[in-house]
């Protein structure tokens, strides 16, 4: 996906503030944080959104959810955290490469929408 912002961030074409990386995933700080800690966790493979997760590509999603507690610990999110993925226009997905927002570091709203 040559025209995908997050593919360009993963490849280093566009700079980012990296938090974690392994062979399958890349995590970096959101440019416009919506909580004290706001990290984006993305599969290195281009998947458009949560609506495009299938039996063939879901292993990376399980892996992301194994990585999330590690990042939460390294970010000091001892008191909890929130994980969100926006899929499609109703959810205001703005970058069409699957990503999970990891939010925390402060008390967040009890409303999610
Ligand atoms: P979405 O709205 O698709 O769920 O989330 C996209 C996120 O990407 C937004 O929170 C936005 O701030 C973030 N974002 C957009 N462009 C960039 C960028 O160039 N660098 C970084 N680090 N984050 C970005
Ligand atoms: Zn991409």
Ligand 1 centroid to Cα of residue 86, in Å, is 11
Ligand 1 centroid to Cα of residue 56, in Å, is 26
Is residue 2 pLDDT above 80, yes or no?
no
| Catalytic (active site) residue 99 | yes
Q: Give the integer Cα–Cα distance in Å for 7 and 91.
A: 21
Show Cβ contacts of residue 24 under 8 Å, excluding neighbours closer than 6 positions. Answer: 43, 44, 45, 60, 63
Q: What is the pLDDT of residues 4-34, one digit of tens each?
A: 999 999 999 999 999 999 999 999 999 999 9
């Amino acid at each position: 996906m040559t025209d995908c912002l997050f593919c360009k961030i993963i490849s280093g074409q566009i700079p980012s503030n990296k938090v974690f990386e392994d062979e399958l995933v890349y995590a970096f700080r959101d440019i416009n944080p919506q909580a004290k800690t706001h990290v984006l966790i993305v599969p290195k493979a281009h998947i458009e959104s949560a609506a495009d997760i299938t039996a063939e590509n879901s292993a990376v999603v399980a892996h992301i959810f194994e990585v999330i507690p590690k990042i939460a610990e390294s970010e000091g999110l001892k008191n909890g955290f929130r994980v969100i993925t926006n899929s499609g226009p109703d959810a205001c997905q703005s970058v069409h490469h699957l990503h999970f927002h990891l939010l925390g570091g402060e008390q967040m709203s009890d409303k999610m929408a």
